[in-house]
Amino acid sequence: MIDVINLQKSFGKKEVLKGVNVTIEEGEKVAIIGPSGSGKSTFLRCLNCLEDPTGGSIIFEGEDLADLKVDINKHRENIGMVFQHFNLFNNLTVKQNIMLAPVTLNKKKRAKNRRIKLYNAIFKKDKPLYAVSSLKDAKKEAEENALRLLNRIGLADKADVYPSTLSGGQKQRVAIVRALAMNPKVMLFDEPTSALDPEMVGEVLDLIKEVADEGMTMLIVTHEMGFAKNVASRVLFMDDGVIKEEGTPEQIFEHPECERLRDFLEKVL
């Protein structure tokens, strides 16, 4: 599903990713662990080009995302991301947070259709149009979907409040369903529970586990080793800008091979 080939990223002179190679299969739950500063976040952020890679390629749906010419917005619709600090849109209500991207997508498609129609009219061609509903229908559909998602996480009563009124755990659960609203093919989580009070970690992990059980392909950077053990189908250990070791949770946690991983596990477990 995603082929990462010799991925590199430098910030100025500082080399952060020094050639990451990994293939993510559909339905896989990949946990990424490793010491602070090893490049876990940078790796995740390169996958949807929040950071532009400086070398290598990321093959997703037949295109190389590292190529600056690809329509990255189109691919980002299929790659959900959940941030450590939630990043809910502060100026929008909870419901609007979830609706913004689907509604914008509809507008974008209709704008494209207008361009195609113009093109067809001028050049007497028959380029097919996108199937797209009216803005009104799209809004209605997005709203129903948002409410359904909020219902699912038990926050339907918060639909019309602003994010600042939510607890951390609630914010992160809304952020997760905001990503789900686009029906992504893969989801990226960057330490989704690190900014939470301990008593709220559980509700967020439960939701992530639910999404995982539904078959979502996901990559999770996490310090929750227990969660990695239970949910991940594969664990990547990153160190110094490369994947030092990878394997099943059992291999990584019970039979670590490299010295660095053993040191790391000793510190965190």
Partner 1 sequence: MWEAKWNAFIKTFIESEGYIRVLTGLKNTALIAVIGLLIGIVIGTLIAIAAVTPKYKVAPRIFDGIGKVYVGFFRGTPMVVQLLLTYYVLLPLLGIKIDSLMVCIIVFGMNSGAYVSEIMRSGIQSVDGGQLEAARAVGLPYGTSMIKVVIPQAIKNILPTLGNEFITLIKETSVVSFVGALDLYTAFSYIGSNNYEFMVPYLVMAAIYLTLILVVTLLVRILERRMKKSDRRH
Ligand X SMILES: Nc1ncnc2c1ncn2[C@@H]1O[C@H](COP(=O)(O)OP(=O)(O)OP(=O)(O)O)[C@@H](O)[C@H]1O
Q: Does 193 bind ligand X (CB under 6 A)?
A: no
Contact 192, 84 (CB under 8 A): yes
Q: Per-residue x/- mask for ligand X, residues 10 to 39, rule CB under 6 A?
A: -x--x-x-----------------x-xxxx
Give one DSSP letter per residue of 3-58, joined into a string. EEEEEEEEETTEEEEEEEEEEEPTT-EEEEE--TTSSHHHHHHHHTTSS--SEEEE
Smallest separation (angstroms) from ligand X to the CB of 185: 23
The angle, 0 to 180 degrees and rounded to 10, between the axes of the packed helices 168-180 and 198-213 is 20
Angle value at C-alpha 218, between 216 and 223, nearest 5 degrees: 135
Q: How many amino acids of this chain bind ligand X (CB under 6 A)? A: 11
Token pair in block for residue 171: 């914010």
What's the CA gap between 64 and 52, in Å, rounded? 12
Q: Which does 162 bind (CB under 5 to 8 A by kind): ligand X, Mg ion, partner 1, none?
A: partner 1
Nearer to ligand X, 237 or 253 (CB): 237
Contacts with Mg ion by CB under 5 A lie at 41
Stretches 87-95, 129-137, 246-254, 259-267: which one binds partner 1 (CB under 8 A)? 87-95
Give contact residues for partner 1 (rule: CB under 8 A). Answer: 48, 50, 68, 73-77, 79-81, 83, 85, 87-92, 100-101, 104-105, 108, 161-162, 164-165, 175, 178-179, 182
